[in-house]
Amino acid sequence: MEKQIIFEDDHIRAIHLPGTSATLVISFGDLITRAKGLSINAEKSLQKYNYAVIGIMPKQKSWFPASSMQALMQHLRPLLDQYQRVVAYGGSMGAYAAIKYSNVLGLQRVVAMVPQYSINPDEVDDRRYTDFFDPALHSGMRIEKQDTRAECEYIVIYDPYYAEDSENFNKIQEVLPQLHSLKLPYTGHDVIAVLANSALLHDFIERDYDETYFYQQMRAVKKNSKFYYRSVIARLLGTHNAALAKILKSRDLQLDGQFFDNQLKQQITRILLTNKRVDEQDLLKLGIQVNLPFEQASQLVDSTGNILVFNMITQKIEAYAREVVDINGKYIIALYVKNHGLAQVEINKEHYLICMNDRRVTKLFKRSDALSLDMNPIVVKKCEDFYVLSYKNLYLSSDADGNCSFQSESVQTTEKFQVN
């Protein structure tokens, strides 16, 4: 018997996947794994063990409204009655639903990763999802005692250092003081991605609760998860910079170029360069490819003595200490300055214009190349005793940490640069 839809409305789609297991698994989708055809959340992992599954997939960002779940129950009850053991699994929005409807579903166990208590702005300080709160749909949506059952075992996995998820966990624990909690520090809301593992999911569904055993298995899984290292890097940079170097040297990450967002990539490369720990192998592990040679160039100095450069890794104008530029000149190239004109860098004996658009996307163009209509060169203006860089009516500022931005419409100390 193949998969089939057993219920559907404007908000959810329920799909039955037959299997030979004695346990029925109810797998709730989340914001990412919303309804798409007959796909079910964690389907591959569940099929590996031939589980019988009901996939309840959200069609909208509507947090499984009670009206939809009540309508589903009319179609779901005959299937539930065939099994003595029913387990629900989900993450985030799906984890919320697994707990919220545990009583009506008659569950024996709930495995909930980073669940919400509510998205009602009057009930939580967490504002990540409050835009999706609809009073017409979500009356009484918070998890309450009557939603749960004493016969059900609740396992909640979360990052205790992630404030938003910790708030939701604490509120759920007030309702369910008997729940089991498993903590996965420095993973943020990526707990679901970090622990994506078929054998671990099988243990969560079938194995008697054993905190020591579960922590051992979770540690083994996270050590092989690139999502875990992304979260750790994001959390520890700036306070434990040596951790990045250790991770890069000891792990074969081999990330793609889109793995880190631009802000995190800029922060990582700044710390690598400043701490003189960068090499091409490390950059490749982070999904960063830079193949341009180092060329000497003129140097503009900001008010703190840092050198103004174009960072080939982050594709941004930044400022670094002189010794950092001297060591990492292959990646951070001092701006070429000669009186008035356009901001340029010299690479392989050829000059490139530094151009930017209104979305702050910065690119290099050969002086002979045509510019797209949205791109404008950055202008260097020589004043009586200093230089300024401008984009339209905004002046470039450089702060004490070397972060540069076009925000000021006036020239103060942070907007003035000297030629070294």
Mean pLDDT per 10-residue segment, the chain (420 residues): 92 97 97 92 95 97 97 96 96 98 98 98 96 95 97 97 96 97 92 93 97 96 79 67 63 62 71 64 65 56 94 93 88 84 88 93 92 93 93 94 93 92
What is the distance, to the nearest Å, from the Cα of residue 123 to the centroid of all Cα atoms in its chain?
25
- Structure tokens belonging to residue 402: 């070397």
206 in Cβ contact with 91 (< 8 Å): no
pTM of structure: 0.65
CA 195/CA 182 separation, integer angstroms: 12
- In this structure, what are the phi and psi dihedrals at residue 282, rounded to the nearest 5 degrees? -65, -45
Query: 289 with 298: CB under 8 angstroms?
Result: no
Strand partners, 91: 113
pLDDT the model gives residue 296: 46
**Sign of the CA dihedral running 331, 334, 335, 338:** negative
Tell me if residue 57 falls in helix, strand or coil.
strand
Q: What is the pLDDT of residue 225?
A: 80
Q: Which domains does the chain have, with CATH numbers?
A: 4-227 (3.40.50.1820), 240-285 (no CATH), 300-419 (2.80.10)
Helix (H, G, I), strand (E, B) or coil at 266: helix
Place of tokens 């671990």: 200
Roughly what angle, to the nearest 10 degrees, separates helices 226-236 and 262-274? 70
